[in-house]
Amino acid sequence: MKRLTFHDNGQTGFCEARHGALVAAMRRYFPHEAAWRRPEADTCVWVTLPLEVDTRELLEWGECQGITFVPAEGVHQGVYNALGLYYTHLPTEDIEEGIRRLAEIINKYRHLAQQYREAGSLSFVGP
């Protein structure tokens, strides 16, 4: 399995084709509650996920699947349901594949969190 990292690698500059691939893949695969906006000058797109998703836990799941990103909590104190995606260093095909795999992880996380809520558990911590 190819390792795909959405971490900053020091590359700068906005790439319209890669940004378009990222947005198209997020629209295709991410939950409809996910929200993002076009970066002004940064090469990172910040994505807000549904409240039940803790991106600190999600990062652990992602790393097991070869996907890395920046949890927002490290940048925005107290924000646990958002993540940053650096993408300008990735080929467009890898962006599509990485977002698809990340979406699968998000959906699995949400499904398990829902099962815990329905079972009456007070909180959910990933397996």
Tell me how far apart the alpha carbons of residues 57 and 35 are, in angstroms, rounded to a whole number.
19
CA atoms within 13 A of residue 101's CA, in its CB half-sphere: 22
123 occurs within a structural domain: no
- Residue 90, domain CATH: 3.90.1150.10
126 occurs within a structural domain: no
Q: Which domain holds residue 27?
A: 4-118
pLDDT digits (tens, 9 = 90+) for 38-68: 776 667 899 999 998 999 999 999 999 999 9
Residue whose C-alpha is closest to residue 55's, from 99, 89, 105? 105
Number of domains in the chain: 1
125 occurs within a structural domain: no
- The overall pTM is greater than 0.85: no
Strands (E), the chain: 4-5, 35-36, 44-48, 67-68, 70-71, 82-86
127 occurs within a structural domain: no
